[in-house]
């Protein structure tokens, strides 16, 4: 029989279809073993038990569920230290990763294409006869019409949204004779990293190449791991051709990033590298941006993550699907559910998570991700969004009634999805926003990829003689304060020349 709800609770964590039980006198949210646990409603206790008294559904799924539910916490009962620990991401030991990546970076610098070929054979088990392909030399790939249409729609929306980000030049006269403006110029050569590990990601090819195309970047190198036969994924190639990619580097990992940063006989050297990747790709980007390669990167990257805020009006089926859509990326994905207010059917959400997870092709990845994810109970939306701002998620879903009214409180997030009809998946693929976003809490200080990411801004000033007369004395005085005599003289010599040229009657 199931344990008595009055005497015991069940921690919200399933392992191989069984429930972990803990003695508790019926108090809400008693702290045990570092987890917040609570008495369960009869329906939830029935769902989690798989003995003779448990539900048929739980028995049917026994052995198929691997940690598909999440730890639970109540915000109002947590200390500041405990909240800080919740918002912290898993620590990554980059020192050990750097020790692996540094030799690859140096080897590619020295041996170029030969090193890329060797590492591709070692890590991807593919022997390349050619490292880089000119996109203009490749035939158009044959795609299913429905697939082609989907990518065409995505391209159109991504193009429209990023093209609208152009900022018109403004010429400002700050004071009489003193004009200033800012002009935009594209980054000449950019490198785009499109992962290929456990999933093919042609959508990332669009997200990176479309803004580069709009910016006018002249050299666009797209790096992606080759197929087992050394070929380029046809969907990635289709997107690359459509969005103006010039070269495709048939390699992944640290070796691909290094080839783009240093340049090789076949791979053009780039000036900025974009795109998500695993820890080794991220480490290579970090190493190279601080090296003699003279290359910058878009942002630090980490595992994919989502924070979902749900109230009593949220459909449990939708909430579960949104959680799993991020969890399936990989076992290190970060998934957080924040319950806002009372009346939320957490039992139904947990049941839906387990049900949907059991039927996912990548359910094993999802269940492992959920094993280190958690649920937070907030008293209201203000507290829920306050926690989200502390967490600074890559993706923030607000699935509550009148979701738009809360937009003004959002301070830190990579991309936001408002309302019950806005799944995170639309941003991943085709709404038009960019899915290359800051993770690991970097949304506190970084933005996602945009048109600006592919531009550099140059300021221009132009003074007339009158303008220098107006501003010059102030500049000279400031230079004097800072003890920079040459700065002062660059102004005063000109002012003296102007004064000397004036008719005697005007001096």
Residues recognised as catalytic = 394-395
Angle (CA) 257 259 264, round 5°: 170
Distance CA(193)–CA(245), nearest Å, equals 12
- Distance CA(204)–CA(227), nearest Å, equals 17
- Strand, helix or coil at 484? coil
Instruction: Specify the residue for token string 């933005």.
Output: 447
CA distance 259 to 248: 12
Provide the pairing of β-strand 18-23 with 296-297: unpaired
DSSP run (H or E) holding 429: helix 424-429
Distance in angstroms between the alpha carbons of the first and the last residue of the chain: 105
CA–CA dist 374, 22 (Å, integer) = 18
Cβ 175 vs Cβ 472: under 8 Å = no
Apex CA 281: angle with CA 279 and CA 285, to 5°? 115
- Chain centre to alpha carbon of residue 412: 13
- Please state, in angstroms and rounded to a whole number, the distance separating the CA atoms of residues 102 and 295: 16
- Number of neighbours of residue 10 by Cβ within 10 angstroms: 24
Q: Which residues of 55-70 are buried (b: 16+ CB within 10 A; e: fewer)?
A: beebeebeeebbbbbb
Provide CB contacts within 8 A for 109, sequence distance 6+.
Answer: 258, 262, 293
Token pair recorded at residue 496 = 């003296």
CA–CA dist 446, 428 (Å, integer): 18
DSSP β-ladder status, 296-297 and 305-310: unpaired
Name which of 396, 393, 333 is nearest 369 in CA terms: 333
CA–CA gap between residue 349 and residue 383 (Å, rounded): 21
Closest CA to 248 of 228, 271, 231: 231
């Amino acid at each position: 029989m199931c344990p008595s709800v009055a005497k015991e609770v069940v921690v919200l964590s399933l392992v191989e279809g069984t429930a972990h039980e803990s003695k508790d006198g019926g108090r809400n949210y008693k702290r045990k073993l570092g987890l917040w646990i609570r008495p369960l409603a009869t329906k939830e206790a029935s769902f989690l038990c798989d003995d003779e008294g448990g539900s048929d559904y739980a028995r049917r799924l026994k052995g198929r569920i691997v940690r598909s539910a999440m730890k639970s916490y109540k915000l109002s009962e947590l200390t500041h230290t405990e909240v800080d620990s919740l918002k912290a991401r898993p620590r990554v030991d980059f020192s050990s990763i750097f020790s692996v990546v540094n030799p690859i970076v140096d080897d590619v610098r020295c041996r170029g294409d030969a090193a890329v070929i060797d590492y591709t054979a070692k890590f991807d088990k593919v022997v390349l006869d050619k490292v880089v392909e000119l996109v203009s030399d490749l035939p158009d790939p044959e795609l299913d019409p429905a697939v082609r249409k989907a990518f065409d729609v995505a391209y159109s929306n991504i193009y429209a949204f990023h093209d609208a980000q152009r900022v018109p030049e403004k010429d400002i006269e700050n004071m009489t004779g003193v004009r200033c403006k800012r002009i935009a110029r594209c980054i000449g050569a950019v490198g785009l990293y499109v992962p290929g590990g456990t999933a093919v990601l042609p959508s990332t090819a669009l997200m990176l190449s479309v803004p580069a195309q709009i910016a006018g970047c002249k050299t666009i190198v797209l790096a992606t791991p080759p197929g087992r036969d050394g070929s380029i994924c046809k969907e990635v190639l289709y997107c690359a051709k459509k969005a103006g990619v010039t070269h495709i580097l048939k390699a992944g990992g640290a070796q691909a990033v290094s080839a783009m940063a240093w340049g090789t006989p076949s791979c053009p050297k780039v000036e900025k590298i974009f795109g998500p990747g695993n820890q080794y790709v991220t480490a290579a980007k970090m190493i190279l941006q601080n090296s003699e390669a003279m290359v910058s990167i878009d942002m630090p990257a980490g595992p994919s993550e989502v924070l979902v805020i749900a109230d009593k009006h949220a459909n449990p089926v939708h909430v579960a699907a949104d959680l799993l859509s991020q969890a399936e990326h990989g076992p290190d994905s970060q998934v957080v559910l924040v319950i806002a207010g009372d009346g939320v059917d957490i039992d139904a959400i947990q049941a839906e998570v387990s049900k949907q997870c059991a039927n996912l092709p990548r359910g094993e990845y999802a269940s492992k991700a959920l094993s280190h994810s958690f649920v937070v109970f907030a008293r209201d939306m203000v507290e829920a969004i306050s926690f989200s701002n502390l967490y600074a998620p890559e993706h923030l879903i607000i699935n509550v009634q009148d979701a738009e009214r809360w937009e003004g409180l959002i301070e830190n997030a990579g991309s936001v999805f408002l309302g019950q009809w806005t799944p995170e998946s639309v941003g991943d693929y085709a709404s038009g926003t960019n899915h290359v976003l800051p993770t690991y809490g970097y949304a506190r200080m970084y933005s996602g990829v945009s048109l600006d990411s592919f531009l550099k801004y140059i300021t221009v000033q132009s003074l007339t003689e009158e303008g220098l007369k107006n501003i010059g004395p102030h500049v000279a005085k400031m230079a004097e304060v800072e003890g920079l005599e040459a700065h002062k003289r660059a102004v005063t010599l000109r002012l003296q020349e102007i004064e000397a040229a004036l008719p005697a009657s005007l001096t």
